[in-house]
Structure 1
Amino acid sequence: MLSVVIPAYNEETRLPGALGAVMEYLAGREHEIVVVDDGSSDRTAEIAEKFGCRVVRHPRNLGKGAAVKTGVIASRGELVLVTDADLAAPVTELSKLKDALERGADIAIGSRDVPGARVRRASLKRKLAGRLFNLLVRLLTELPHRDTQCGFKLFRGDSARLLFSLAECRGYCFDVEVLLLAREMGFKVEEVGVSWTDVPGSKVRLFKDGCRMFGELVQIRRRSAGNSFPATPGTSAPESTSSPVS
C-alpha cells in the first residue's frame, strides 16, 4: 500500500484540487491519504474528511516539519510519499520516484536542479534564494544533493517511520535533517529530476523564513555532529546519486 502524507495549514482553497488529483491518479490502487491539519483556522480538516482522508490534527500550528513527522509516523504503507498541498510537483511524477526505488534506493527525492527537472514560473528571486540555501546546506552538512527542499519525496515505509521518529526539526529544514539521518544510517538516496511549477500562495516568506531556516540548519548541524548511528540492517550502503530522468 502507498501512503500519501500531505501537511496542511489553512489549505481550504488548494486542498480540494490536490486531493481530487491524487485520488484520480491512484484510483484502483491500494492507498491511503493522510492529511495533517497543522492548527488551521479554516476548513482544512473538514474538507480532507469529506474526501475520505485520514486526518490528524495539531491543536496549534507547530510547523511543516512537525506536520510531516506526524503524518509519516501515522502512515501504514509499504511506501510513503510526502507531497505538498499545492502539488507543485504533480502526483503523476510519482512514477519517476518509484523507478528509483526499484533501482535499489531507499529514498527518492524530487529535485528541481538535476538533469530531467523542468521548472515553470519560478521567479528569479526564488531561484536565487533556493540556490543560496542549497549552497549553505552543502557547506554545513556536506550533503551532495542539489535540492533538499522540493516537497516531493518517496520513502520505503519502514525507513520513513524510523527516520522521522528520530528527526527533531519542526520547521522547513526538516528535509535536511532527515537526509542527514539517512546518510548516517546507511540509507541509499537517489535525487530525481521532476516537473515543478511555482504555484501562487506559498506560505514561505523569503527573508523571515530564510533567516529562521538558517538558524534551524545550524542547530541540525550541531545535533548531527553529536550523533552516531550504526548502519541499519537490510539497507543499502551510504550513497547518493542523481538520476537524469526525462
Structure 2
Amino acid sequence: MGEPTSGSGPCTAHRQHDADQDQKPGTIAGHDRPPSASFRAHGLAPNHDRLRRGSLSRTVTLRLQFPSGSATVSAQQRRVKDHRQQHTPAGGCLRVTLTSTQAPYLSVIVPAYNEAHRLPPTLQHIATHLTQRRLAYEILVVDDGSLDGTAREVESAALRIPQIRLIRLPNNMGKGAAVRHGMQTARGLLQLFTDADGATPIEEFSHLEQALEAGADLAIGSRALASRQPGYTVQARWLRSALGTTFNGMVQRLGLPLADTQCGFKLFRRSVAQDLFAVTCVNGYAFDLEVLYVAQRRGYRIAEVPVNWADQPGSKVRVWRDGFTMLQELLEIRRREAEGFYHPRSRELLQPIEPALASIEPSHP
C-alpha cells in the first residue's frame, strides 16, 4: 500500500454507537457481555468452554493458542457445514453465488496501491484456500488510486474468481482510508483485512476465526508473539523490526497492552467493524493503532494471535519517512482522545460511508 497524501484527514464517517454498548462494558474489568443477537441468530455465539480454556487478561487482550486438528465441532463449524450442504451441487463442486441480499460468511478486504505484480497471486491463493474450506466469501480489493494497472489486474482476476469486487478510490488516500472504505462496504458476517503482498498467508485466518469463536470481538495477527514461540516463522528486515519495536514502545503509553498493533492481518465481527470504522479518521499506516485504541475504549475484547509472516520484496513501506508520519498520527490520536472525539455520542452523526469518494465496480456486468 502507498503512503497517504496526507497522514490523516478530517474524519467524515461516523455512526451512532448502539445504546446497549454504551451501557455495558466488555471484559476489561471482569464484566461479561453476552453475545450479540445477530451472532446467536447465525450460530456464531462464543464457545464458552473454549473461552475458559484460554486466558483473558485483566486489561483488554485475549491471547489464545489453538491446537491444530481440534476435534471440537462448534456452532460456527456446524453453520459452515449447513451452508456447504445448501450450496454444493450434486457433483460435489462448490460454486457459491450470492445475491445482493445474501451476506457471505467472510469478507476479505485487500487494500492495494500500485500492486499490479504482487496482487494477482495473492488473490488466487486467497480464493483457492477459502474455496477449499467451502466458505461463502467475497474479496473486496480497494484500489487506492493506483497508476500501474492494478485495477485491470483485479478485473482480469474477477473473470476467474466471481467473488472478487473492485472498489476504486479517485486518488491515493492512504492505506487507512482504503481499509476503511472496504470495511464499510463489506457484507460478510466476519471481516478480515490483509495485505496485497500476502505477507501473512490466508491459512492464518483459521486461528483468528477460532479466537472470535472463543469470545473475542476482534482478533489481530501478531508477529511479536510469533517470534517468541517455536513453530512460527517471522522474516523481517532488521531496520523495519527496530522501527516496529520503537513504535510499539510509544504505543504502550496509550495504555494498549498489545505486542504488535501494525500487522496487516486483522479479523472483526461485522457489527464491531462497522462501529469502529465509522469513527476512525487516520488515513496513514497508524490507522491500525487508532482502530485498536477505540476498540479498547469501547470495551471490545481483543485477541492477539501469533501468525506466520514474511517481509515481501517490493514493500511500499519507507521506514524513516513512514515512521515519522506514524508518530505524527499517534499524536493526532492522543489529541482527538483528549477532545472526546472517540466518545460515541460526542460528535454530530454523519453518513457512515462517503459515496462520492469511491466507485464500486461489480466483477461482472
| TM-score normalized by the length of structure 2 | 0.61
Describe the superposition over 1:140-173 as per-residue Cα deviations: whole angstroms up to 9, x where unpaired.
Answer: x111111000000000011102111111000000
Which of the numbers 103, 118, 132 marks the counterpart of 1:14?
Answer: 118
Q: Partners in 2 of 1:110 and 1:225 — Cα distance?
A: 29
SS in 2 for 1:104: coil
Tell me what 1:39 maps to. 145
What is the alpha-carbon distance in structure 2 between the residues aligned to residue 135 and residue 205 of structure 1?
A: 20
Q: Which of 171, 178, 201 in structure 2 is aligned with 1:60?
A: 171
Alignment of 1:59-208 (within 5 A): 59-114=170-225, 115-116=228-229, 118-139=232-253, 141-208=254-321
- 8 Å contact kept, 2:116–2:150: yes
Which digits, 9 at most, give the CA deviation of each residue in 1:169-224, with x for residues without a partner? 00000001101110111110010000011111111111111111100010011112
Unaligned runs of 5+ in 2: 1-104, 159-163, 346-365
Which ranges of structure 1 fall in alignment gaps of 5 or more residues? 232-246
- Counterparts of 1:102 and 1:45 in 2: how far apart (Å)? 35
Normalising to structure 1: TM-score of the pair? 0.90
How far apart, CA to CA, are the structure 2 residues paired with 1:222 and 1:138?
16
- What residue identity is the alignment partner of 2:171? R
> Is the 2:222–2:304 Cα contact (8 Å) retained in structure 1?
yes
**1:60 Cα deviation (Å)?**
0.5
CA RMSD in angstroms comes to 1.5
Q: Cα deviations across residues 7-50 of structure 1 (Å, max 9, x unaligned)? A: 00000000111000000001131000000000000111121122
Change (3 A) 1:50 1:32: same
Q: Which residue does the alignment assign to 1:239?
A: none
Q: Is the 8 A contact 1:116 1:194 kept in 2?
A: no
Which residue of 295, 319, 327 corresponds with 1:214? Answer: 327
Using CA pairs below 8 Å that are at least 6 residues apart, which structure has the higher relative contact order? Answer: 2
Distance across 2 between alignment mates of 1:45 and 1:131 = 35
Letter paired with 1:54: R
The answer to whether the Cα contact below 8 Å between 2:223 and 2:234 also exists between their aligned partners in 1 is no
What count of residue pairs does the alignment treat as equivalent? 230
Q: Secondary structure at the match of 2:115?
A: coil
Higher strand share: 1
Larger Rg: 2
Q: Compute the displacement of 1:54 (Å).
A: 0.8
- Aligned amino acid, residue 71 of structure 1: G
Q: 1:56 aligns to what SS in structure 2? A: strand
